[in-house]
């Protein structure tokens, strides 16, 4: 399976850069013959990313409770997002 991680600089958000990256990754993964794509670490508080992946056809297949440590030292749940490329 194909896997990717993206971070878009705060001052560049709102320009659909993340969406372009995700859609291109889907195309590239299909072209390379991958059967699925997943994002392993979508932090619970990143609702914009969660909505983006859902709009692109991904579905949540699991949650890692308290799997991501944020800057203030607290922990947030991480979502695992999956898309079949077949």
- DSSP assigned state of 4: -
pLDDT digits 0-9 by tens, 3-35: 888 888 889 888 889 899 999 999 999 999 999
DSSP E strands in 17-57: the ranges are: 36-43
For residue 77, the model assigns a pLDDT of 96
Higher pLDDT, 85 or 6: 85
Distance (Å, whole) CA 4 – CA 6: 7
This prediction's pTM: 0.84
């Amino acid at each position: 399976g194909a896997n990717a991680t993206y971070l878009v600089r705060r001052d560049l958000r709102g320009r659909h850069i993340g969406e372009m990256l995700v859609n291109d990754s889907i195309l590239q993964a299909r072209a390379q013959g991958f059967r699925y794509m997943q994002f392993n670490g979508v932090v619970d508080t990143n609702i914009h990313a969660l909505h983006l992946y859902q709009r692109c056809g991904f579905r949540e297949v699991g949650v890692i409770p308290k799997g991501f440590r944020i800057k203030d030292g607290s922990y947030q749940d991480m979502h695992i997002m999956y898309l079949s490329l077949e």
